[in-house]
Amino acid sequence: MKPVFQTALGQIHEGDCLEVMRGMSDETVDLAFADPPFNLGKDYSSGINDNLSDEAYVSWCHRWLNEMVRVLKPGGSLFVWNIPKWNVHLAAHLNSHMTFRHWISVDIKYSLPIRGRLYPSHYSLLYYVKGSKPSSFHPDRIPTPCCRHCGGELRDYGGYKDKMNPLGVNLSDVWTDIPPVRHAKYKKRDANALSLKLMDRIVNMASDPGDLVFDPFGGSGTTYIAAELNGRRWVGSELDCQTIIARFKDLDGDKIHLEDIHKNKNVLFTKADLLHRKKSGIPLPSAYRVNGEVDDECACNTDTGVAAIA
Ligand SMILES: C[S@@+](CC[C@H](N)C(=O)[O-])C[C@H]1O[C@@H](n2cnc3c(N)ncnc32)[C@H](O)[C@@H]1O
């Protein structure tokens, strides 16, 4: 199948993902990610039936999962984004083909409270590897959560505050910092679009520059944008590619957004938190760094005289 759109790094195919994957060679992909329809009866511009019987939906998922496992290289990583109801079935299937790494809970409310049920408040992100260990694993470090008003830390680190790694806190398997997609520029975007911050985190955690990233369910193309702007090669499929092509033709908003995401990871405090702390007179730990280097523009460090790490 010929791609409908390509860049120097990637290409998107308009068509059924199973057909596209059948054209892909075994063990060629470094990182595979899937965010399929959730079978919740939603309308998609591609007109798919999102209201299958439970059995039909799970068996369709098994078919594309088998293909994703086949195209992954040994050491390649697979991530599957879905609601817990379906990911328990998909995990059970994957357990016979791959090595389980994590069930990551991403704290986002996605439905209204229902009487007699708990309020659905997390998406499940399955993380598997082909073989025993991943070829790439570089999890982001994240800023310590701070008060939006004064910039003070919200967590008590048991007296070890001053010993905290200036590059941020270890990433856990519960992600509470993924915002819903609400960037002004993206107001009109497909409501199914995932956050660029989420895809940037996955791409950087489980691949290296030049690696090949694959996503069978393109949607608005967030995976491909994260891959392209992080220097990864990428390939994808989608039944209706118009939104993806339009998004690639006007990348400025995504570039600015990604720069901002990169500035606010691998640091212990974001710039905004440093400014809040300065205003409210909260002293800083003895060392900190902003985006990997000392930030001379940030007035906080001159005033508090903290030691900076080169
Ligand atoms: C939940 S959306 C993906 C959103 C995407 N992750 C993003 O951030 O924009 C699922 C997408 O899968 C596409 N899709 C559904 N069935 C498909 C199939 N058999 N082959 C290719 N794409 C399919 C739908 O058209 C829809 O755009």
pLDDT digits (tens, 9 = 90+) for 144-168: 999 988 998 888 777 777 778 889 9
Confidence of residue 265 (pLDDT cuts 50, 70, 90): very high
What's the Cα-to-Cα distance from 295 to each of 259, 270, 282, 288, 310, rounded to whole Å? 16, 11, 18, 10, 10
Write the DSSP symbol of residue 269. Answer: S
Q: Which two tokens stand for residue 67?
A: 């293909």
Contact predicate 286/218, CB 8 Å: no
Task: Give me ligand 1 centre to Cα 81, in Å.
Answer: 12
Q: What is the helix, strand, coil percentage profile of the chain, to 5?
A: 30, 20, 50
Write the DSSP symbol of residue 113. Answer: -
Lining ligand 1 with CB less than 6 A are 16-17, 35-37, 44, 46, 48, 192-194, 216-217, 219-220, 222, 237-240
Res 127: pLDDT:
99
**What is the identity of the amino acid at 210?**
G
Closest-lying ligand 1 atom to the alpha carbon of residue 17: 20
Residue 221: strand, helix, or coil? coil
E-only strand ranges, the chain: 5-6, 10-14, 29-34, 72-82, 99-107, 122-129, 174-175, 212-215, 233-238, 287-288, 307-308
User: 5-138+177-263 in CATH: which number?
Assistant: 3.40.50.150
Locate the domains of the chain by residue range: 5-138+177-263, 143-172+269-310
Q: CA-CA distance, 169 to 150, in Å (whole number)?
A: 20
Is the model's pLDDT at 254 over the cut of 90? yes
Contact predicate 197/176, CB 8 Å: no
Hey, which of 43, 46, 235 would you mutate to test ligand 1's pocket, going by the most ligand atoms within 8 Å of its Cβ? 46
Res 302: pLDDT:
32
What is the DSSP secondary-structure string of 135-165?
A: S---PPPBPPPB-TTT--BSS--TT-GGGS-
Q: CA-CA distance, 161 to 148, in Å (whole number)?
A: 19
Contact predicate 215/33, CB 8 Å: yes
> How large is the average pLDDT for residues 296-308?
34
Contact predicate 76/29, CB 8 Å: yes
pLDDT digits (tens, 9 = 90+) for 178-237: 988 865 555 555 668 999 999 999 999 999 999 999 999 999 999 999 999 999 999 999
Q: CA-CA distance, 33 to 188, in Å (whole number)?
A: 24
> How large is the average pLDDT for residues 269-284?
88
Confidence of residue 62 (pLDDT cuts 50, 70, 90): very high
Task: Give me ligand 1 centre to Cα 36, in Å.
Answer: 6
Hey, which of 239, 243, 245 would you mutate to test ligand 1's pocket, going by the most ligand atoms within 8 Å of its Cβ? 239
Closest-lying ligand 1 atom to the alpha carbon of residue 38: 1
